[in-house]
Amino acid sequence: MSPKKRLIFKLKVLFEDDYLAIIHKPGGILVSGNHFKTIANALIQNLKQSTLEDATQPQPVHRLDFPTTGILLVGKTSSSIRALNKLFEDRAIKKTYYAVAIGNMKPEGTITTEVDDKPCKSNYKVHQTVPSERFGYLNLVELEPFTGRRHQLRKHLSDLGNPILGDKDYGIESLILNGKGLYLHAYSLKFVHPFTKEEMYLKDDFPLNFKKIFNTLEVGEIN
């Protein structure tokens, strides 16, 4: 029998201890699932083996869409995976995303339209707006989802009439940007470490395609 093929895929590790890790997920790769090229399959060669008794193969404890970039939380022990899943269930992990949304927007608001016939809620706040010949306006929008429905933020901004730049599923057909990816980035995670009780606040810097639109991101205006 041939040895099991290993995925060689370099990941950027933002934080790591014996219990958990926080990594950057690039766009264009699945977090997990029935495919060879996934973040889950790449973790083992990018993270240190935990020295704890219940060490296990590292596992992502939440998902980001295939085209979404950004911060991803991983458990490295059985008890840590359980504890992190419980934090998500209890909504004790604050997730912040940024998107580039198309069109004229109010400065801030709350979106509560149902997704898949289930109640859900997202807050948004516009940080910067630049004029665009093709799109009218492009907005740097901070997003905080209070529920975790599939494609929630993408659907919510589309419902608002301000779809995310590059969104082929929920965009306006005449305004779909091809070949540049989806301008949605998981920016930060904030939670209390379930074992060390340390206050964790990790950020994943904006991708280059965001910085090309909003020059001020280069000098780190967002806190």
Annotated catalytic residues are 65
Residue 196 token pair: 């060390």
Query: Could you tell me the two tokens for 111?
Result: 């979106």
Residue 112 φ/ψ region, left for φ over 0, alpha for ψ in the -120 to 50 degree band, beta for the rest: alpha
Helix (H) or strand (E) holding 146: none
DSSP per residue, 79-97: HHHHHHHHHHHTT-SEEEE
CB 82 within 8 A of CB 60: no
- CA separation for the pair 94, 41 (Å, rounded): 26
Residue 25, strand partner residues: 70
Q: Running DSSP on this structure, what letter comes out for residue 205?
A: P
Per DSSP, 177 falls in state P
Distance between CA atoms of 186 and 204, rounded to whole angstroms?
Answer: 7
Report the distance separating Cα 18 and Cα 29, nearest Å: 26
